[in-house]
Amino acid sequence: MLVIAALIIVPLITALLLLVFRSNRARVVLVIAAVALLVALAFVLTARYLFFSSGFAVAQSGFLSYVMLGIDLVCCLYILYRGIRATNYLAIFLAGLQGVLALVYEFGFSHNAAVSIDVYVDELSLIMTLIIAVTGGGICIYALGYMQSYQEHLEHEGSGLAVSGEPSRVAEALRLVRDRRHIFFALMFVFLAAMFALVFSNRLSWLLTAWEVTTVCSFALIGYARTEEATKNSFRAVVVNLSGGLAFTLALIMLAGGGTQLFELDKLIEAGVGGTLVLPLMLLAFAGMTKAAQMPFQGWLLGAMVAPTPVSALLHSSTMVKAGVFLLIKLAPSFGWNIPGLFVLIMGALSFLGCTALAISQSNAKRVLAYSTVANLGLIVCCAGVGTPEATWAAIFLLIFHAGAKALLFCCVGTAEHHLGSRNIERMDNIFVRMPWLASCMALGMMAMFIAPFGMLVSKWAALVSLIETGHMELLFVLAFGSALTFVIWAKWLGKVLAVGREDERISTRVSRLEMVSLAGMAFLLIALTLGIPYVSELFVMPYLWETGLVLQLPIWAQASEVLGYDNLMIMSIVFMVMLALLVVQILRRRPPSNDTVYLAGVGASSEERSYYNAFSELRDATQRNWYLEQFFGEGALLRPVTILLSAVMALFFILGIVAELMPL
């Protein structure tokens, strides 16, 4: 219990300290110390849970509920304030309504309710804790280096503006340039604290508070740059997430009122398995989907890229979107062949297919990553909707490896962007020669996203098997075509990143040491995770399924066996070892530099520049662009029909849900 409390309080105290000590040195020391402490705490918790105790649940109550309500209200007030300043009526309305409903819920239902367990730990929350502490912490360290160059860049640009312009523009420039990094880092740590609270809360009202805090933190971080675009996109994000929060609150009120009287997550899941809940589950699923940026809500996550890269990394890997899928995975036992289950499953599957296809047409690296996040979360959501232990296994594996790979990828892209001056994939041509280590990390992250023997593919494989076994034939098509599309997205980018040209021309570009250390750490973690696939399954994922089965008295869950078989997991691990071994041989076997040149029809001038002499003896560059297949997969061709389709499906399911609620069979 102490460890859990520490996990939530340490980042909060760090955030406060960061606000007080604003110097660069102090910040570096504080952040590194806090991250080290958090990682240590996460491991202590894991060790205690795995080896000494079979699970502990602690009752706490009293004034903590007031604190939580207070935090929730502060969140609403903050959004109200920002909404009024920006005259965004939708945000004002939603935040106001949210505040009122939260008060209604607390004092109308929840406050005097008898809650036996407030805080809990199980393997899933342990997995989440490790992800949050390790990748989230890694991103915070990375941000130390990144924000340094970000600020320098900003000041450089600002001075340009100040020189050029009239007084109003100078003022604008000064406003944008002001060093607010202390706020930035404080928000990052509050975010982590909220995530920790989210994965441990069993009392639904506390869960809601944590949920709202993540919304507000993401809002503030997306709008960090304070440009017009950043503000606009931050409001877009907050509106979507507030509507999700509203759905969450409504679900809680429905659960608390009526005959059900549910105030705890475990009781909720238990009731859900019984099949009596329809609309509340759908509302919770809706909340999860908005947070996980499922189509048709993907817009906010794509817009969130105006924020500095560590924010994107944090949102996409260990926090925010993972909160959405975490909730859905928790609820997985209650899904299956029922209305909420099918709702979740179909929305997730279509998001997966739609966003994978959309990602093909993108040349902006961060947009590709964002679409791929939505797609992979779609797969997680879909697996949660299937509601079998095998599918849940796949969902959790997807969650783990997606977090690891995406954090690494976003950080790599951020660093590359600073050094290349562009996020365009086409500009990453030759990055392997300029920054070999960065390119290798990036390639590792990309391969981890889609190909054997890495975790994402293993989870996709498990998803495929579990879909067959549950008879979701239509989804098998989705998965088969989706996998092929995924190959295209990554293969062409990977090719650009790994283009070596002539290696004797290597020019290294200096990358900030903090950035490099955290990138190397994340890459190492990913390698370790891939090698340890069988153990991750054995130590964390399978016990979670069994325990869920025991608690809910579901024999299928309690007796679930490894979906792919232990031997297949071992094979994947061995294949990866073969790849690594050959890579070591390759690196150790240094050959003399070659004097070979690229074939350019006999008129090549330089292999590095890929230039040639044309028919007029003029020097020209041979350029080669990747395939983006816009006519098939472009946003213009796909975005509108897919959005309409998904909105229609969602509306249909909610009508079904309401009908089912009103007229129980």
Binding residues (CB under 8 A) for other proteins: these are 429-430, 447, 451-453, 457, 461, 464-465, 468-471, 473, 476-477, 479-481, 483-485, 487-488, 491-492, 494-496, 498-503, 567-568, 571, 575, 578-579, 582-583, 586, 589, 591, 594, 596-604, 607, 610, 617, 622-624, 626-627
Coil, strand, or helix at residue 203? strand
d(CA 405, CA 444): 8
| Smallest distance from other proteins to CB 452, Å | 4
Between 269 and 488, CB nearer to other proteins: 488
Between 157 and 567, CB nearer to other proteins: 567
d(CA 502, CA 610): 11
- Cβ–Cβ < 8 Å for 449, 456: yes
| Smallest distance from other proteins to CB 499, Å | 5
Between 318 and 430, CB nearer to other proteins: 430
Residue 22: CB atoms within 10 Å:
14
CA proximity to 163, closest of 149, 150, 177: 177
- Cβ–Cβ < 8 Å for 339, 315: no
d(CA 341, CA 344): 5
| Smallest distance from other proteins to CB 447, Å | 8
- Cβ–Cβ < 8 Å for 371, 451: no
d(CA 21, CA 27): 7
What HEC string does 574-615 produce? HHHHHHHHHHHHHHHCCCCCCCCCCCCCCCEEECCCCEEECC
Between 480 and 556, CB nearer to other proteins: 480
| Smallest distance from other proteins to CB 413, Å | 18
Between 20 and 500, CB nearer to other proteins: 500
In sequence order, the β-bridge partners of residue 507 are none
Q: Chain centroid to CA 449: how far?
A: 13
| Smallest distance from other proteins to CB 340, Å | 22
Give 534's contacts (C-beta < 8 A, 6+ positions apart).
566, 569, 570, 573
d(CA 512, CA 437): 13
| Smallest distance from other proteins to CB 503, Å | 5
| Smallest distance from other proteins to CB 635, Å | 19
| Smallest distance from other proteins to CB 385, Å | 17
d(CA 155, CA 177): 6
Between 54 and 586, CB nearer to other proteins: 586
Between 250 and 467, CB nearer to other proteins: 467
Q: Chain centroid to CA 421: how far?
A: 25
Between 319 and 530, CB nearer to other proteins: 530
Between 370 and 447, CB nearer to other proteins: 447
| Smallest distance from other proteins to CB 571, Å | 7
In sequence order, the β-bridge partners of residue 606 are 611
